[in-house]
Amino acid sequence: MSNSTQEIHEKVKKLLYSLTGITLADNKDIMISNRIDKLKRNCNYNGDVVDLLKSIEQGNHLTEFINSFTTNKTHFFREDFHFLDLKDRVLPMFANNGNKIQMYCSASSTGEEPYSMAMSVFEAKDQLNKNILASIIATDIDTSVLEYAANGIYRYSKSSKEFPSWIKPQKYFKRRVQKNLAGEEVLIKVNDELKRMITFQVMNLNDNTYPFSSHQFDVIFCRNVLIYFSSEDQNKILKKLFKHLKIGGTLYLGHSENPQDLVHYVKRVGQNIFVKEKDII
C-alpha cells in the first residue's frame, strides 16, 4: 500500500471514529478501499478522494460518509433463542395485565431484528390467547438502512430460510412476484400490524446522552453492534443504555459481546441474556 493510500485510510479511520465511535482494525484496508468507492458513488463524485475527505471534515456529505462505512449484516430471527426467550419468558408477564411492554432495538439495520421482535409478540399473543400491548423503538445511525426498514420489503430468497419453525411467514408478509432483468424475484412485504408496532428513528449510540427517559424500556436489544467499538467505548455505551432499562428488564447482547462493567448489576438468565437487578450507583 502506498504512503498516500495509507494516509487516506488513516484519515478515514479518524473521521469515522469521531462521527460514529466505530473503530476499524488495522487489517481492514481492502474493506476501506471498497467503502471509499461506495462513498464516491453515494456522493456522485468522481474527483480526488483527498478533496472529498477535506470536504467531509468541513461538515459536508456526513450522511453519505456514515452510510458508506457502516456494516449492516442482519437477518430475521438471528440468534433465534433470544426471540424464544422474549416470547416464552418475557412476554407472558405482559399478557392481559394492561401494561404496555416497551422495547428498544438499538442497532436495527434494515429492520429484520425489530420485525422479528414484533412477530414474537404476535406469536406470544396467539400462544397464550391473551392480549399483549407492545411498542418498539428501533434506531440506527445509518439513514439508508432505516429507510429500507420502514419500507419493509424484503427479497424472499434471502429471507425464506431465516424463519424458525415456530414462525409462519405467510402470517406476517404479503408475497409479490416482480420481474427484473435477471428474471423473476419474490418479494415479501411486512404487514401493517407489525409496522404499526415499530417507530424507526436515527440515533448515534456514540452521542453523550440518548433521547429516552430513565427506566423507559422493559427490553433492550443491543446485538452485533458493540463489536465495532473499542472495549472502553463498548462499556460507555452499555452504561448509557442501562440507565434506560427498568429494574427487572432484559438486555440481549450479540454472541461475541459481553456486559462489561454491567456484570455487577445484572443476572445472567440465558446465552447473552441479562436481567437488570439494580441501577449503577
Ligand X SMILES: C[S@@+](CC[C@H](N)C(=O)[O-])C[C@H]1O[C@@H](n2cnc3c(N)ncnc32)[C@H](O)[C@@H]1O
The verdict on whether 140 is a catalytic residue reads: yes
Q: Which of 41, 48, 80, 140 is catalytic?
A: 140
Distance of CA 136 to the CA centre of its chain: 12
Could you tell me which stretch among 29-37, 69-77, 127-135, 156-164 binds ligand X (CB under 6 A)? 69-77
**Diameter of the chain measured on Cα atoms:** 65
Strands (E), the chain: 101-105, 134-140, 153-155, 173-180, 183-190, 198-202, 217-222, 245-253, 266-270, 273-276
Q: How far apart are CA 51 and CA 116, in angstroms?
A: 42
Contact letters (x/-) for ligand X, 94-133, by CB under 6 A? -------------x-x---x--------------------
Sign of torsion over alpha carbons 256, 260, 222, 202? negative
Number of residues that bind ligand X (CB under 6 A): 24
Is position 195 an interface residue for ligand X (rule: CB under 6 A)?
Answer: no
Among 136, 205, 219, 262, which residue interacts with ligand X (rule: CB under 6 A)?
A: 205
Could you tell me which stretch among 158-166, 200-208, 239-247, 263-271 binds ligand X (CB under 6 A)? 200-208
Cell 428513528 belongs to which residue?
Answer: 201
Which residues, listed in sequence order, are joined to residue 222 by a DSSP beta bridge? 253
Spatial strand order in the sheet of 183-190: 153-155, 183-190, 173-180
The verdict on whether 126 is a catalytic residue reads: no
Could you tell me which stretch among 39-47, 66-74, 117-125, 172-180 binds ligand X (CB under 6 A)? 66-74
Contact letters (x/-) for ligand X, 16-45, by CB under 6 A? ----xxx-----------------------
Q: What angle do CA 191, 195, 198 make, to 5 degrees?
A: 160
Cell representation of residue 122? 404476535
> 206 to 265, contacts with ligand X by CB under 6 A?
206, 223-225, 228, 254
Q: How far is the CB of 278 from ligand X (least distance, A)?
A: 26
Cell 467499538 belongs to which residue?
Answer: 229
Question: What residues act catalytically?
Answer: 35, 140
Binding site for ligand X (CB under 6 A): 20-22, 70-74, 78, 107, 109, 113, 140-142, 145, 204-206, 223-225, 228, 254
